[in-house]
Chain A
Amino acid sequence: EAQVTQNPRYLITVTGKKLTVTCSQNMNHEYMSWYRQDPGLGLRQIYYSMNVEVTDKGDVPEGYKVSRKEKRNFPLILESPSPNQTSLYFCASSFRTGGYEQYFGPGTRLTVT
């Protein structure tokens, strides 16, 4: 089954404790992206990757890191989480960027206390 998986689905952590949210897709997609979703603000892009070893900042990259060492995986790293990073996070992938359907993961609900 074609899908995007994210782990963990729920995470409660404390300020400053490094964490990683994993994202994996099995569709051989070139493009992958991370979004955060906050009430009233819609989907805001954090980082995206157009292919292996190619990543770029989205609209809200501060406090986040990403890597794309393999085509299928695109982990999101929070080196020192803060309470303003409490949010719902989505990973997405598509064949290429631009005019192609994006497939979203189920989301990761992160709470930073």
Chain B
Amino acid sequence: GENVEQHPSTLSVQEGDSAVIKCTYSDSASNYFPWYKQELGKGPQLIIDIRSNVGEKKDQRIAVTLNKTAKHFSLHITETQPEDSAVYFCAASSNYQLIWGAGTKLIIKP
């Protein structure tokens, strides 16, 4: 079945620097790739998503890139701020189900 690997498990960056989180998937038929942000004590919330007919998508300081040939996609956060501290999950849609990565804890150092 589909498998999604997410790296790194923990990422610590200086405030103002960029952060990149990477995911790989195994099912070449996957066609939808969302990213969710989970703040402490809350449920995950969608922050950006991309479909397989697009290579890149941006929304202010966050962007997602997709490489279908290599079967990997990445989340890029620029000019990181304290409120970016959270756990981030990637996912891939396969057979109408979302397969989740294990999550990345992003720490923003002041």
User: Interface residues, chain A, CB within 8 Å of chain B?
Assistant: 4, 40-45, 48, 90, 92, 97-99, 101-102, 104-107
Mostly helix, strand, loop or mixed at chain B's interface? strand
- Contact check: which of B34, B42, B45, B102 meets A42 at CB < 8 Å? B102
Chain B window 4-17, contacts with chain A (Cβ cutoff 8 Å), 1 for yes, 0 for no? 00100100000000
Is A98 in contact with B93, judged by CB distance below 8 angstroms?
yes
B54 within 8 A of A: no
B98:A102 contact, CB within 8 angstroms: yes
Contact check, A90 vs B101: say whether CB atoms are below 8 A apart. Answer: no
A101-B101 contact, Cβ under 8 Å, with A43-B44, A107-B43: no
B45 contacts across to A, CB distance below 8 A:
104
Interface size class of chain B, counting residues whose CB lies under 8 Å from the partner chain: 20 to 34
Apart from A40-B9, A90-B43, A98-B96, 18 more pairs, CB < 8 Å: A42-B6, A42-B103, A43-B89, A43-B103, A45-B100, A48-B97, A92-B43, A97-B97, A98-B93, A98-B97, A99-B51, A102-B36, A102-B44, A102-B46, A104-B45, A106-B41, A106-B43, A107-B41
* Interchain residue pairs with CB less than 8 A apart (25): A40-B9, A40-B102, A42-B6, A42-B89, A42-B100, A42-B101, A42-B102, A43-B100, A48-B97, A97-B96, A98-B32, A98-B93, A98-B96, A99-B32, A99-B93, A101-B49, A102-B34, A102-B36, A102-B46, A104-B44, A105-B43, A106-B41, A106-B43, A107-B42, A107-B43
User: Shortest beta-carbon distance, B22 to chain A, in Å?
Assistant: 15
Once A98-B93, A99-B51, A104-B44 are accepted as A-B contacts, the answer to whether A41 and B32 lie under 8 Å apart by CB is no
Judge whether B31 is part of the interface by a CB distance below 8 angstroms.
yes
The answer to whether A41 touches B102, judged by C-beta atoms less than 8 angstroms apart, is yes
A101 with B100: CB separation less than 8 A: no
In Å, the complex CA distance between A44 and B49 comes to 20
Contacts of A45 in B (CB 8 A): 97, 100
